Amino acid sequence: MTDLSELAAALHLPTEPVRAPMFIDGKDFAGASDWVTRKSPGHGMPVTATLRASKGDLDLAVAAARRAFDDGRWSGLPGEQRAAVLLKVAQLIRDNVETLAYLETLESGKPIGQSRGEVTAAAGIWEYAAGLARVVHGDSHDTLGPDMFGLVVRQPVGVVGIVTPWNFPFFILSERLPFALTAGCTVVVKPAELTSTTTLRLAALLTEAGLPDGVVNVVTGLGSVVGQALAEHMDVDMISFTGSTPVGRSVLAAAGGNMKKVGLELGGKNPQIVFADADLDDAADAIAFGIAFNAGQCCVSGSRLVVHRSVEQELVERVQAVLAKVRVGDPLDASNHVGAIVEARQFDKIRGFIDAGTRDGAQLVCGGTASSEGERFFIQPTVFRNVQPGSALAQEEIFGPVLAVTTFDTFEQAIQLANGVPYGLAASIWTRDLQGAFKSLRDVQAGRIWVNCTITGGPELPIGGVKQSGIGRETGRYGVEEYTELKSVHVQLGNRPRWIA
Active site residues: 265
Instruction: Indicate the residue type of 31.
Output: G
Q: Are strands 261-265 and 238-242 parallel, antiparallel or unpaired?
A: parallel
| C-alpha gyration radius of the chain | 24
Cβ neighbours, 10 Å, residue 500 = 3
Count of all residues that appear for the chain in the document: 501
* Contact yes or no for 255/262 (Cβ under 8 A): yes
Contacts from 404-408 at CB under 8 Å and sequence distance 24+?
Answer: 404/303, 404/304, 404/305, 404/357, 404/362, 405/304, 405/305, 405/307, 405/312, 405/316, 405/365, 406/304, 406/305, 406/306, 406/307, 407/306, 407/307, 407/308, 407/309, 407/312, 408/306, 408/307, 408/308, 408/309
Q: Give the residue ranges of DSSP H helices in 191-326.
A: 197-208, 228-232, 245-254, 280-292, 312-323
State the Cα–Cα distance between residues 124 and 86, nearest whole angstrom.
Answer: 11
Angle, in degrees to the nearest 10, between helices 411-419 and 434-443: 30
SS3 448: strand
How far CA 112 is from CA of 1, 199, 336, 457, in Å, comes to 21, 17, 9, 21
E strand spans, 301-388: 304-308, 363-366, 370-371, 378-379, 382-385
> What torsion do the CA atoms of 393, 395, 397, 400 make, to the nearest 10 degrees?
20
